Amino acid sequence: MKGKIFMYLFLFAALYIVFQYANVKKTFEVQEEKITSLEKEVDSLTLLQKNEVPENTAQTDGFSLETNDKARTYFENLNYDITDIKSRVEAEIISRNKVDADNELIPYSGMEGKFRVNRIKILNHKWVLAEFTDSVYWGEAIISYFIDDNDEIFLETVDAFIYPKN
């Protein structure tokens, strides 16, 4: 009788040990996968911070005057400073915001107020993406710009749209 009890106890202990081993092994594998994926994420974030983008990763800000080599070369060939051009174009667009009138670059009339440009992104050496609002309605416009021989900036709205009110 004592032998059977010890045999059952031994079998129960062996099954318990096998169950614990399988459970711990599975947990360990899951944690290893999480660690590996987090290490890859940290590596990619480190590369992005250093502005080193791997070949298989799309560049997050490809449409920008600062990162567009062809647009930078265009201005450098004309002996223009990129930061100067950027600030001058932004100032020219924002200066068209009036207190008592819509911005003349926006082809719509404000519905709840006057449309004013509130955010600008210079895409390249010819185009600007501008966000505008009257504080209720929002829209975006593509603005073409040109700098003549006298360093004067000419602006023309190519297209614009307003988001529907929700």
**Residues 52-110: tens digit of each pLDDT:** 555 544 455 567 888 888 888 888 888 888 888 899 999 999 998 888 888 888 988 88
Q: Look at residue 57 in the predicted model and tell me its pLDDT.
A: 44
Give the DSSP H or E segment for 157.
Answer: strand 153-162
Closest residue by Cα to residue 128 from 78, 75, 85, 76: 85
Q: Tell whether the model's pLDDT for residue 166 goes beyond 80.
A: no
Find out whether 122 and 89 touch, Cβ atoms under 8 Å: yes
Q: Where are the alpha helices (DSSP H) in the chain?
A: 2-49, 69-77, 82-94
Task: Read off the pLDDT of residues 10-51 as tens digits, 9 standing for 90 and up.
Answer: 999 999 999 999 999 999 999 999 998 888 888 877 776 766
| First-to-final CA distance of the chain | 80
- Sheet (strand 127-133) strand order: 116-122, 127-133, 138-147, 153-162
Q: Which amino acid is at 114?
A: K
Q: Residues near 90 by Cβ (< 8 Å), separated by ≥ 6? A: 120, 122
